[in-house]
Structure 1
Amino acid sequence: MVLALSPGFVGVVGGGLAAIVLYALLGLVMMILGFYAIDLTTPGKLNQLVREGRPNAVVATGAGMISMAFIVVVAIYGASGRLADGLLATLVYGLVGIVVQAVAVRILEWVTGIDMTVLMESRELRPESRVVCAAHLALGLVVAVAIL
């Protein structure tokens, strides 16, 4: 019995592997930019607050990262297998999503009257962090679905 690969198999697998690597790198860049957008719009130095284990900063950061992942995943899905289109769409939608989410979450925090300085610096998990988390996740889903 001889095992033979169909013609074009190596090209298809190679293209798929390239897409995985490129999307992963772009997703990582979007996540880093999203982190810095959250950091810029949140009182205190977010990476320091997270390293110190401030639970509300950790929750807000985690929710922000998950919501950015929603946007990246839907942009990739919407590209329908066209790598160049998908990478460009992910970049554009990701950047717009970062800006929209950072502004919208801050507006929701203002509307709810959450004191972000007190919240981020607290050493105890506060109920308000659930509102911030929900705002990040909800807005990430809204932006993600808007891409479709």
Structure 2
Amino acid sequence: MTTLLALSDDFGSQLGKGIGAIALYAIVGLVLVLLGFYAIDWTTPGKLSDLVRTGKPNAVVVTSAGLISMAFIIVVAINNSDSDLTAGLITALVYGLVGIVVQVLAIRILEWATRIDIGTLIQSETYSPASLVVAAAHLALGLIIAVSIS
């Protein structure tokens, strides 16, 4: 008994286009995550990557939350991009960039409003619960901005 799998004539072509789209969106996503990290690093006192690498606990908490919040924004930007690949990539990139800028500005305003000295906090050798407030602010604002994209 022989069973045949029926595939459309353009199955291979569609599969190839899908794989290409995944790769291109992954590149856009990676670029946006890197830009998001450097935007957080640039606007935060101290060299964030060095503080994380040396194991400063509050820097790790804040940076982790910042990266996750950027990922929310980027995922929604990609998910809401146009079905046309070129337009979709451009839309995801633009919405992602705008989202990152708004996120960084919003988090700095929130830190100012809460009067948390982020520079001292992230350079501390010991864990401080205030880092959870900053992390929660990153996550909350990232979700708000992500939903505003949709």
Fold shared per TM-score above 0.5: yes
Partner of 1:17: 19
CA RMSD of aligned residues (A): 1.3
Q: CA deviation at 1:102?
A: 0.8
Larger Rg: 2
Q: How many residues align?
A: 148
Partner of 2:62: 60
Partner of 2:94: 92
Q: CA deviation at 1:118?
A: 1.1
Q: CA deviation at 1:85?
A: 2.1
Q: Please give the alpha-carbon distance, in whole angstroms, between the structure 2 residues aligned to 1:16 and 1:25.
A: 14
Aligned residue type for 1:99: V
> Unmatched 5+ residue regions in structure 2?
none
Q: CA deviation at 1:79?
A: 2.1
Partner of 2:45: 43
Q: Does 1:111 align with 2:92?
A: no
TM-score relative to the length of structure 1 = 0.94
Residues 32-64 of structure 1 deviation map (CA, whole Å, 9 limit, x = unaligned): 100111011111001100100111111111111
Counterpart contact for 2:82–2:91, Cα < 8 Å? no
Q: CA deviation at 1:119?
A: 0.5
Partner of 1:127: 129
Residues 115-140 of structure 1 deviation map (CA, whole Å, 9 limit, x = unaligned): 11110101122111111111111111
Moved over 4 A (4+): none
Counterpart contact for 1:64–1:136, Cα < 8 Å? yes
Q: CA deviation at 1:4?
A: 4.9
TM-score relative to the length of structure 2 = 0.93
Percent identity over the alignment? 61
Residues 77-122 of structure 1 deviation map (CA, whole Å, 9 limit, x = unaligned): 1125332222111111111111111111011011101011110101
